[in-house]
Amino acid sequence: MPVISTQENPLSNTRPGIDLQCKDPFETFALMREHHPVCQIEPNGLWAISRYKDIKEALAQPEVFSSQALDRFFQADWLSDDCKSKRLVVSQDPPEHKKYHGLLNKAFINSNIKALIPLMRETAKSLIDNMTPDMPVDFISQFAYPYIGKIIGQIVGVGDKQSLAEIQEWVEYEEQMSPYRPSDEFIDGCENSIRRQKAYFLQAIKERRLKPRNDLLSSLLEARVDQQALSDEELCSLLSLMVSAGYTTTVQALTHAIIQLSRRPEILAQIKQSPQLIPAFTEELLRHSPPLYTAFRIASRDIKIYDVTIPKGEMVLPLLASGNRDPAQFENPDEFDIFRKNARQHLTFGYGIHTCIGAALARLEIHVALEALLSAYSEISCPPDDQLDWIQSIGMRAVSTLPTRFFT
């Protein structure tokens, strides 16, 4: 059984402290697809699946590849009981999944999403107005985070009570959650952040019960599952999902968009001249440079793929980003081609019953942001990859800051 070491595989950061900075995972993914399409990665022996076809088949079989893997993160033994949570929808399998999935689906109908466009445009414009052309800015802290934060805060109804910095701190702890015990310092900070966030949610829940608004939280208070209203714990779980799942992933998708436009001025010029190309650019961006590496699943029984058997109970990583670069699915997959006909077949939003509910929202957020930025600027410059501060993460390819210059 091939086991890929940390030196070979940048995905193997299952404990804090392993340096992933400046490493390109796609070279490793290519080797895995060709030679070890199903294998264990170190440390901790997680099982990785790297070919598009196999990943898609795994995500389409929740009865075999269970989504309860995320419970190992958010109900880890090292967490205090009051900080543990069950992540509804994303960590549920059928039939329970369907009961809660429909509640969130209603919040993401096209009319509700399109109603956010004025807020998106207003927020993007105000942030651009505060950025001085030709002067260095940190795109993440000065545009991406406040832009997405404003939208998410509006959706879940806590934005008028909670600072952006507090939400960002909590989300950053969420991204580093692991089944494996971290440092005591991390645990203290993480638990304090979880308790604070829960208090904000409970405060918002109490206020909406007294005075409903036109937002997701008010609609969830009216929702029923098996003819029962949602408990405070269930409401906090769904709000946590909304914030954590829709926050940093979209921030980093926007960040990758700026990186790609900086590297490819000819594409920037094409899109600036023809803004109708923004959706095509977005799909190729999500395929070529996704913010997420992987999904997480648990084998509900022994699973044989090719000549390899994944034992029951083991954690499985369908490598979404690897599937997006599989030459069996995408011709010349390492090329960034905004005219690629099948780009939308990427796996960045998952596949099957757990396809991201907020995919349409994320696409719209990216579209409006790029439309505003490219109407204001003609050139973008940011440092090469080896000069960027890549975040250590098992599941994301992300940077902590993005020094950027925008030129008119």
How confident is the model at residue 5, as a pLDDT? 42
The Cα 52–Cα 329 span in angstroms is: 7
Q: What are phi and psi of 192, to 5 degrees?
A: -60, -40
- 214 Cβ partners below 8 Å, 6+ apart? none
Query: For residue 393, what pLDDT is reported?
Result: 72
Q: What is the model's pLDDT at position 13?
A: 35
pLDDT, residue 164, reads 82
Angle (CA) 99-105-107 rounded to 5° is: 120
- pTM, rounded to two decimals: 0.88
Cβ atoms < 10 Å from Cβ of 82 = 10
Q: Is residue 98 within 8 Å of 89, Cβ to Cβ?
A: no
Q: Which residues contact 329 (CB under 8 A, 6 or more apart)?
A: 52, 53, 323, 342, 345
Residues 286-300 as b/e (b if ≥16 CB within 10 A, e otherwise) read bbbbbbbbbbbbbbb
User: Any idea what the CATH number is for the domain that residue 147 is in?
Assistant: 1.10.630.10
**C-beta contacts of 176-179 below 8 A and 24+ residues apart:** 176/16, 176/393, 177/73, 177/74, 177/76, 178/14, 178/15, 178/16, 178/73, 178/76, 178/394, 179/72, 179/73, 179/76, 179/315
Alpha-carbon gap, residue 218 to 225, rounded angstroms: 15
Nearest Cα neighbor of 343 from 280, 389, 388, 291 is 280
- The total of other beta-carbon atoms located within 10 Å of residue 306's CB is 10
pLDDT at 280: 98
pLDDT for 141 equals 93
pLDDT of residue 43: 62
What's the pLDDT at 365?
96
Helix 359-376, helix 265-273: angle, nearest 10: 90
Length of the chain counted residue by residue: 408
Q: Which pLDDT score is estimated for 288?
A: 97
pLDDT, position 16? 29
Instruction: Mark the ranges of the chain whose per-residue pLDDT is less than 70.
Output: 1-23, 43, 107-109, 159
pLDDT at 107: 65
Tally the domains of the chain.
Answer: 1
Domain that includes residue 263, residue range: 3-407
